[in-house]
Structure 1
């Protein structure tokens, strides 16, 4: 494994992390504790130290599975990033919750679910500018940092060209930007990444495999089950993406190289990117993701 400094946080994070949206049950598979233990143990074995989760991956379900695991392992071995701003109701249904008082309640629920006294990176989760620009929210979060419940603040921008929230990071005390970035979506290169570099912000590239389309496993016309979040994607857009993936596989991926590993390494080539946080369904996928560092 290789490690990079996470911007001004000075944390050293593995360049490949473990994304855990799938633990919440919206990617067509239900995970039990044994499944999660095996995935995270494989990550630890391979030198991965970064877990990214959120309050709304299930109703703190992903956090609870991770917390059970952490309660039986060395907490300090892991850098845990979670998020705030949404309340999960049922599969694919959430409401925004960004009021300062409500966020404090979410924070305590996340700490309880994760079975920890502190969160390494607490991220504003894809909210609109109007609620991001609430000084009371950031003042309350800074007090939680002073109390030791949060080590660092971050912002997971919903629009991957959201320069407003990125540029305001230093002002509000956010030290990490999480953004959609992959070979099919290079928008952050234009404005977001230069802003991150100017401010010395850490960058997590989420959806680095473009919701699995860049894994090379799917062909144009692929159909996803109704329990899979990709079932909700526009069919025509999905078809175009998968046609582009076929072209990339033929013209850009070196012969004999696994496309998913290539796609992760492609993200990590950009100097602004600290780490990629791909999801994984089993230990074999964790191992395959980690192997991207060899490229």
Structure 2
């Protein structure tokens, strides 16, 4: 496993970090708790020391599962990355959507990053995670109802108090990063990035490289699509929001699988799965520090972790990039 520092902080994370969205169940059609615990422990045994979670992932369930999974591991041997700013327990801030929790209860979700809310949330996260500090505390989504400076000042306070080691954001563009930097030195920006979704390469990647900010890539496997296991006509479980997503249209599944067939021989030559090849490509892209990879069971977790050992030459990266361009991605 390879480890990289987040921005200019002392926090080091594994290049493949366990993404704990799916294990929270919410928007993924449920998850088995014991399988999730075993998956995190299996990943840790492969060198994946970092776990990225969030309160909204199952309304606290994901964080509680993470706490259970790392129980017994020395705290300084694991890095907990969690978030704040998505509330389902108050009706304040920027309304996002109506939803249902894992038990079918109707909930309304708001983006809220006021100072009061940040201070409240960190305590809830610490309680659920059963720890006294968080390695990276990230704003989950921009909140247009709260000035960026107010949110960043709250994060600065938490750093001084020792409750968080580093502050980050998610889903910020370059301009929002610049504004936040007037108040605090951010470690990272967590954004969606994959072989077939590369919008950040135009502005955000150059900004982060120039200003020594890490990019944490979420959905590098495009929520499973880039594993090659999702075929035309795939049936998603109840509550799984991938159904209807623009990446999961019949036409795009066919297009994506055609591209994956083009790079499959390279994966086979390296005794790697398609998913491992995709993750290996991701962590070797300019500006990308960490790739998040979710797993619902031990086998998936081990496979994801071993992607870090798949070595790609400059020529092989160029080969993949050409196949992407030829495929229209």
Q: Same fold (TM over 0.5)?
A: yes
Q: Distance in 2 between matches of 1:64 and 1:147?
A: 23
Further displaced range: 257-266 or 188-197: 257-266
Shift of 1:290: 1.2
Q: Distance in 2 between matches of 1:6 and 1:35?
A: 29
Q: Distance in 1 between matches of 2:177 and 2:149?
A: 16
Aligned in 2, Cα 1:280/1:172: closer, same or farther, shift over 3 Å? farther
Shift of 1:267: 0.8
Contact 1:205 1:273 in 2 (8 A): yes
Q: Distance in 2 between matches of 1:30 and 1:255?
A: 29
Shift of 1:39: 1.4
The aligned counterpart of 2:285 is 270
For residues 112-147 of structure 1, what are the alpha-carbon distances to aligned partners after superposition, in whole Å with 9 as ceiling and x for unaligned? 00011111100011224x346332222122111101
User: For structure 1, which runs of at least 5 residues remain unmatched after alignment?
Assistant: none
Aligned in 2, Cα 1:93/1:277: closer, same or farther, shift over 3 Å? farther
Aligned in 2, Cα 1:147/1:137: closer, same or farther, shift over 3 Å? same
For residues 30-82 of structure 1, what are the alpha-carbon distances to aligned partners after superposition, in whole Å with 9 as ceiling and x for unaligned? 232x3233112111211111100001011111111112333432111111110
Moved over 6 A (4+): none
Q: Distance in 2 between matches of 1:255 and 1:22?
A: 26
Aligned Cα RMSD in Å?
2.0
Q: Is residue 135 from structure 1 mapped to residue 156 from structure 2 by the alignment? A: no
- Choose the corresponding residue for 1:206, options 187, 201, 218: 218
Shift of 1:99: 1.8
Q: Distance in 1 between matches of 2:148 and 2:7?
A: 24
Shift of 1:202: 1.4
Aligned in 2, Cα 1:259/1:8: closer, same or farther, shift over 3 Å? same
For residues 95-126 of structure 1, what are the alpha-carbon distances to aligned partners after superposition, in whole Å with 9 as ceiling and x for unaligned? 22222112211111001000111111000112
Shift of 1:222: 2.0
State the TM-score, normalized to the length of structure 2: 0.82
For residues 142-180 of structure 1, what are the alpha-carbon distances to aligned partners after superposition, in whole Å with 9 as ceiling and x for unaligned? 11110100110001116xxx2222333432322111011
Q: Distance in 1 between matches of 2:275 and 2:302?
A: 12
User: For structure 2, which runs of at least 5 residues remain unmatched after alignment?
Assistant: 90-99, 102-106, 311-329
Contact 1:21 1:53 in 2 (8 A): yes
The aligned counterpart of 2:29 is 28
Contact 1:55 1:84 in 2 (8 A): yes
Contact 2:221 2:275 in 1 (8 A): yes
Contact 1:208 1:263 in 2 (8 A): yes
